Structure 1
Amino acid sequence: MSYEWFISLRYLRAKRKQTFISVISFISIAGVTLGVAALILVQAVMTGFTDGVRQQILGNVPHVLIQRYGEGIDNPRELVNAARQLPHVISATPFVSREAMLLAGGNVAAVSVKGVDEDHKILAQSLRTWEGNQINQLFFDSEDRPGIIIGMDTATTLGVDVGGLVNVIPPLFNVTPFGMMPKMKPFRVVAVFDKQSSLIDSFYAYIPLPEAQVFFESEGVVSGIEIEVDLFERAPAVADQLSGQFAFPTVVRPWQSLYGSFLSALKLEKLGLFIVLAIIVLVAAFNIATTLIMVVMEKTRDIAILRAMGANARSIMKIFLFEGLIIGTMGTLLGTGLGVALAHYADALIKGVEGMFGIQIFDQSVYGMERFPSEIVVVEVIAVVVMAMTISLLATIYPAWRASRMDPAEALRYD
């Protein structure tokens, strides 16, 4: 151990007459600890919340959407085969979509009725089915009435449950001897989303694709093709590859162009919170600078003696740089441990506080999430650590530089 490190550690262990400096050092460490812990916790919660919202948005909507400008797609099989050959593509399914009104028992709900095939991801979700039967059998092989799948919110609005009948009324008309009559057809509710759906999910209802093509008068034509990828972030790359294969009027759009503005707002909010909370670490850095300035003032005689004994200005500067670095490192390590622990057990802590005080902090029904969102990202934790260490190091430069510039003869004149 160099003598610079040795002296720095000795200065941190204050004597009886220097207890106040020791208290200020403890406050500096505590400030860095709280700032780093708050940053890590908020980053984890915002990341978890963003991922949760993104999962809700992309629960039943496509990751990549293929449509044809101004018309339907009459060659869906060609586009589906091209999409399925690309890497990272899990599924590619055609669909027919039309806005319609659902009518049941005098109640009305506006939805987008989507005709899907057996490979659509809605059929793989948790559904409450009619009489507990398999969803594929109920949905595609219904004998009396064609099947329809609706969200829990839509079912509540209509006042129906699985097994009930709803009338689907699209913006189409039949010519009858009595004039133009709205087209209407009864469907049986064969399944309801088992969990409370998000706002986007509530807007959709699903019927079999062949039934939709006949009912919406679009035989042989589909409205578009939905593509699902293995990772959300790979959607733009898949969309770019398909855009290179199929020119206009075929339009290929990733989910970022459809719903990315809302998620961008969440990222901006996350950045804003990061900047605001970083000020806590900055305030703690001012405490570090204050502590070192007080130590320099207290150790003026010691610095002069060290200079008289042969210590150069660089060694004196190292002593106080090391002391500030020790304070910053201790605060950063403690804050990192505290922040990671709080982020990891955030859900358990929230539920514990709710049970202890009988209050509700996190309403699962409002956010549509089963647990309090918190996801620790290693890169973000490293970024917080680097930022805290950098601020702490910068705060030590001026006091250390002032100590190194001290004239030993002037300091010892009155001793």
Structure 2
Amino acid sequence: MSYEWFVSLRYLRAKRKQTFISVISFISIAGVTLGVAALIVVLAVMTGFHDGVRQQILGNIPHVLIQKQGTEISDYPKAVEKALSSSPHVTAATPFVSKEAMLLSKRNVAAVNVKGIEQGNKIFRQKFLTQEDRDVQELLFDTAATMPGIIIGLDTATSLGIAVGESVNVIPPMFNITPFGMIPKMKPFRVVGIFSQRGGFLDTYFGYISLGQAQHFFDAENQATGIEIEVDSFDHANQVASELRQAFGYPYVVRSWEDMFGSFLSALKLEKLGLFIVLGIIVLVAAFNIATTLIMVVMEKHKDIAILKAIGATSKSVMKIFVLEGLIIGVLGTSLGTSLGLLFAKNADPIIKGLERMLGIRIFDQAVYGMDRFPSVVNPGDVVAVVAVALTISLLATIYPAWRAARMDPAEALRYD
């Protein structure tokens, strides 16, 4: 161990008459600890909310959407094959037919987007309420059924006042010409399944029928409204969309999920950055405590510094002593804060539930946020950024006191002693 390290560690342990300096050092370490822990926990929670909202959006929304401007896609089987071969990140490509429609039942009306889908669509990965807990795909694509099936959301079912097994009339914005004039097109469907997508805000807008029924009912035989593309990771959506735009020229329109909902998620990212800056001020305040501690040590130890310089210590060594002392405080505070922050961030859900049981209050309402647990996702990049910022601020706080100690004149410091 070099003598600079030894002296730095020794200065952190105050003598009986210098207890106040030791208390200030402890407060500095505690300040850095709390600041780093708060940053890690808040960033983890914001990341969790961001990912939760993104999963809600992508529950019923494709990663990439291909449509044809102003018309339907007539040669959709070829387009599906072309999309599958366009990028190695594409895992599925499924055609669909959609049309806005009114659902009518028991004198209640609800507006939905009725979408015709194929078997194996991503929406079937969620849980459904069905009769006798039967498989919803089996019921929806049952060709022997007397009435075609439809899947609706819980909010829509509540608005219409219907349950599984009951019928609902689907009325698209289309008309039949009869001897009595134009009559709105209408067809009864049986509700074979009800889903409750997390978040609820997508439930109201979707109803699902089989692709064949949709093509026949909406006069779109052998046509598709668009093609839904699924990729191996939603982070690859923009890259896949760019590759698909090159493969599909005009009049095809290719949009990723970020193109459709990116502005909302960008607002969450901006809020996360703002919280990082605001909470970073806590670490900055702790850094002022570090600077204050070192200034007081320099004032208290002016004799020691003078003696060190008189026996041959260089200004660089003296400066190194106080820089190391500040870094020890910063590293201790950052290490403790990182450990504490990771502990809280990774156990946020049980901690919140424990506080709710102990205090008898509701801190996190799952029904409001549409999440089954308190969201907290630790991003290694965020942790590294917090540690780097904390150590950098701690280092910068040591420069001025260390510089003043290095400039001290031994003769001037010992003149009156």
Same fold (TM over 0.5): yes
Paired letter, 1:99: E
Q: Which residue of 1 aligns with 2:122?
A: 121
Q: Deviation digits for residues 381-410 of structure 1, max 9, x if unmatched?
A: 011001100000000000000000000000
Alpha-carbon offset, residue 241 of structure 1: 1.3
Query: Which deviates the most, 331-340 or 191-200?
Result: 191-200
Please state how far the C-alpha of 1:215 moved relative to its aligned partner.
Answer: 0.8
| Secondary structure of the corresponding residue to residue 61 of structure 2 | coil
Distance in 2 (CA, whole Å) between partners of 1:241 and 1:16 is: 71
Tell me if the contact between 2:154 and 2:203 (Cα under 8 Å) persists in the aligned partners.
Answer: no
Return the offset for 1:94: 0.4
Gaps of 5+ in 2: none
1:119, distance to aligned residue in structure 2 (A): 2.7
1:223 aligns with 2:207: no
Cα distance per residue 1:94-137 (max 9 Å; x no partner): 00111011111111111100011113111232112223222222
| Aligned: 1:95 with 2:96 | yes
SS at match of 1:199: coil
Q: TM-score, normalised by structure 1?
A: 0.98
- Corresponding residue for residue 357 of structure 1: 359
| One-letter amino acid of the counterpart of residue 295, structure 1 | V
Correspondence 1:382-393 to 2 at 5 A: 382-393=384-395
Query: Against the structure 1 CA distance between its residues 210 and 89, is the aligned structure 2 distance closer, same or farther, given a 3 Å change threshold?
Result: same
The match for 2:158 is: 156
TM-score normalised by L of structure 2 = 0.98
Q: Distance in 2 between the 1:195 and 1:243 partners?
A: 30
Q: Distance in 1 between matches of 2:59 and 2:84?
A: 20
Q: Deviations over 1:239-294 (max 9, x none)?
A: 11111111110111111100111001000000000000000000000000000000
The C-alpha deviation readout for 1:354-375, integer Å capped at 9, x for no partner, is 0011100111111111100000
Which of 130, 145, 148 is the equivalent residue of 1:146?
A: 148
Give the distance between the partners of 2:196 and 2:79, measured in 1 at CA: 32
Cα distance change on mapping 1:412 and 1:196 into 2, 3 Å:
closer
**Aligned counterpart, 2:328:** 326
Q: What residue is the counterpart of 2:274 in the other structure?
A: 272
Alignment: residue pair count: 415
Asked whether the equivalents of residues 148 and 190 of structure 1 are also in contact (C-alpha less than 8 Å), the reply is yes
In 1, the alpha carbon distance for the partners of 2:352 and 2:238 equals 37
Q: Deviations over 1:206-229 (max 9, x none)?
A: 011111111111112111000111
Conserved? CA contact 1:316–1:403, under 8 Å: yes
Contact 1:155–1:192, Cα closer than 8 Å, also in 2? yes
**Aligned match of 1:133:** 134
One-letter identity of the residue aligned with 1:102: L
- 2: CA distance between counterparts of 1:330 and 1:137? 61
Counterpart residue type for residue 101 of structure 1: M
Question: Are residues 1:59 and 2:59 paired?
Answer: yes
Q: Structure 2 matches for 1:162-241, cutoff 5 A?
A: 162-194=164-196, 198-241=200-243
Cα offsets for 1:30-81 (capped at 9, x unmatched): 0000000000000100001100000000001110000001111011011111
1:39 corresponds to 2:43? no
What residue in structure 2 maps to residue 262 of structure 1?
264
What is the rounded CA distance, in whole Å, between the counterparts of 2:198 and 2:409 in structure 1? 74
Residue 308 of structure 2, aligned match among 306, 309, 317: 306
The question of whether the paired residues in 2 share the 8 Å contact of 1:340 and 1:376 is answered with: yes
Farther-moved stretch of structure 1 (383-392 vs 85-94): 85-94
User: Which whole-Å CA distance do the structure 1 matches of 2:115 and 2:70 have between them?
Assistant: 18
1:244 aligned residue: 246
Deviation of the 1:197 alpha carbon = 5.1
For 2:68, give the aligned amino acid.
R
Structure 1 residue runs of 5 or longer lacking an equivalent are: none
Give 1:326's aligned amino acid: I
| Residue equivalent to 2:18 | 18
Aligned mates of 1:279, 1:375 — CA distance in 2: 23
Q: Does the CA contact (< 8 Å) of 2:114 and 2:206 recur in 1?
A: yes
Deviation at 1:159, TM superposition (A): 1.1
Q: Deviations over 1:171-196 (max 9, x none)?
A: 01111222111111110010111555
CA contact (8 A) 2:56 2:198 kept: no
- What amino acid maps onto 2:79 in structure 1? L
- Asked whether the equivalents of residues 152 and 196 of structure 1 are also in contact (C-alpha less than 8 Å), the reply is no
What are the residue-to-residue correspondences of 1:369-384 with 2, within 5 Å?
Answer: 369-384=371-386
Q: Secondary structure at the match of 2:202?
A: helix
| C-alpha distance in structure 2 between counterparts of 1:410 and 1:249, whole Å | 84
- 4+ residue runs over 2 A deviation: 194-198
Aligned-residue offset at 1:4 = 0.5
Report the 3-state secondary structure (helix = DSSP H, G, I; strand = E; otherwise coil) of the residue aligned with 1:70: coil
The answer to whether the Cα contact below 8 Å between 1:93 and 1:227 also exists between their aligned partners in 2 is: yes
Aligned-residue sequence identity (percent) comes to 67
Farther off after superposition, 273-282 or 170-179: 170-179
